[in-house]
Structure 1
Amino acid sequence: MKQTWKNCRNPKIMLLVPLTVFNGVEQAFVIGIFTKSFVACGLGVSQIGFVCTAFGISDAICSLVFGPLIKLFGRMPLFVFGAVNNMLMIVTLMIWPLNPADKAILYVAATVWGMADGVWNTQINGFWVALVGRQSLDLAFTNYRFWESIGLAAGFAMSRLFSVEAVLLILFCLLLLGMVGYCAIEAYDDVSVGLHSFSTSHTSSFLSLDELC
């Protein structure tokens, strides 16, 4: 725990915290609110298991597929894919008037949300390892699980304290904040690599001139 708080001094770690917390909140939303306020109210309690199965299968398949895909396309496209899917589903649930006749919409929402969750469960975890370092795997997983658990606890608390619309709005804002933080980390790394390459190339040029002299 002491090491976890010590890592909070690292700006890049803190920039990843909102997205990690969102990962926990969105899982709590699916378990505590989506199943109760949408599936149970719209389709009946008997359909909760089937809708959750669609979510779980989608989540499992995407978790397996996204591992190899990151080697082909990099991390950024997968994070954007997950964020866009989640935002679309959040907005859909906010504006869609619940109708039992629209059974397919709930299954599609569960499936697409599962795809996004597959991104978060695999890529955020891996990103923590990249930030903390492979030599500190235990610390990386501890940080990830700690902040994700904070999100889970907050999500379940919000399901009792706030309306569904308010929770969806909080989810949207938290995801937006998390993606801004993630993009800031990627931008910082790109600038750092660029400056390092620039410095290295100029140092090599000066060495070459010295040799000529």
Structure 2
Amino acid sequence: MDVDEDTKYLLLGLYGMCMVFAVVGCAYLLDPVKTYVASTSSCGQIITQISSVLKCILDKRFLLICGLLMYSTMQLAFVTAEVTKAFVTCPVGIFMVGYCMIVYGVCGGTTSFIGGRLTKYIGRIPLIVAAAISNLGLLAFMVFWRPDSDQIVAFLLLMGAWGLGDGIWLSQVNCIISAIFPEKLEEAFAASRTLQGLGGAIVMGYATQLCMISKMGILAGACIFGTSMYIVAEMISRRKQDNIDEEKSLTKA
């Protein structure tokens, strides 16, 4: 379906304005971060930084959460590139994509805000497991669902449900990195962004090569694997922290 030039320019203009407002807002409203001192880096320093990131990736704890990091962007790429095309544009029309993404974004922002506060009371694992179960349930529903153009509410509910899970994934991933790697945050965040980019690239890479059932199967497998390995990583991290606390208590005694 062709989109007229006026609509294209309107969308690009709105997107550009959002970028400008975001940059201006960060520049004038965000408190300056002085944790790291800005300086020029030599070739040797760059190589050292890359080496530190690679060492972080090879850390046993990081390897256990690699699957979860990749899945957090795999599910995002799947929704934005595949669900909107196969389950919204084809049965209803491209005009409905915008409304669905509005619902998706609002639900994602809501769960991200609420999830950050719930973490203090119930921890990260219940939220991650809830998001995984939600995503797996949606994938199972999509396998058997036959979309119809009259089911407008169903399309909105589907995208809203995906947004609820996405809000948890994107907010909790940062919390996980901060909690498991407090001693090397810079390297851990750099490594996590690398893997998240790889996850999105993988989904886009096989987008034109596989059928929808195969794509959903891959995503379900990645969800189960990533969540399982993350739970193991949390158990190891907590055991290590318990041992440290026990040693401190013995030292004080």
TM over 0.5: yes
TM, length-normalised to structure 1: 0.87
When the two structures are superposed, what TM-score results if normalisation uses the length of structure 2?
0.74
Where do 5+ consecutive residues of structure 2 fail to align?
1-49
Alignment identity in percent? 23
* Correspondence 1:77-96 to 2 at 5 A: 77-96=126-145
What's the RMSD between the two structures over aligned residues? Answer: 2.0
1:198–1:129 CA distance, 2 compared to 1 (3 A): closer
How far apart are 1:3 and its partner, in Å? 2.1
Match of 2:56? 7
Partner of 2:229: 181
Deviation of residue 40 (structure 1)? 0.2
Give the partner amino acid of 1:153. Answer: A
Distance 2:88 2:102 in 1: 12
Counterpart Cα distance in 2 of 1:113 and 1:51: 10
- For the residue of structure 1 that corresponds to 2:148, the secondary structure is coil
Residue matched to 2:32? none
* Worse overlay, 169-178 or 64-73: 64-73
The CA deviation at 1:193 is 4.9
Q: What's the secondary structure of 1:117's corresponding residue?
A: helix
Cα 1:8–1:141 change in 2 (3 A) is: closer
Structure 1 segments unaligned to the other structure (5+ residues): 208-213
1:93-113 Cα offsets, whole Å, 9 max, x none, are 122122223222221111111
Counterpart position of 1:126: 175
1:20 deviates by 0.7
| Alignment coverage as a number of residue pairs | 203
The residue aligned with 1:157 is 205
**1:42-97 residue CA offsets vs partner (Å, 9 max, x unmatched):** 21111000001100111111111111110111111111111111111111112212
Question: Aligned partners of 1:192 and 1:60: how far apart in 2?
Answer: 33
Q: CA deviation at 1:148?
A: 0.7
The structure where helix makes up a greater share of residues is: 1
Asked whether 1:73 is paired with 2:129, we answer: no
Answer yes or no: is the 8 Å Cα contact 2:65–2:226 preserved in 1: yes
| Inter-partner Cα distance in structure 1 for 2:185 and 2:55 | 16
- Contact residue 125 and residue 144 of structure 1 kept, 8 A: no
SS class of match (2:206): helix
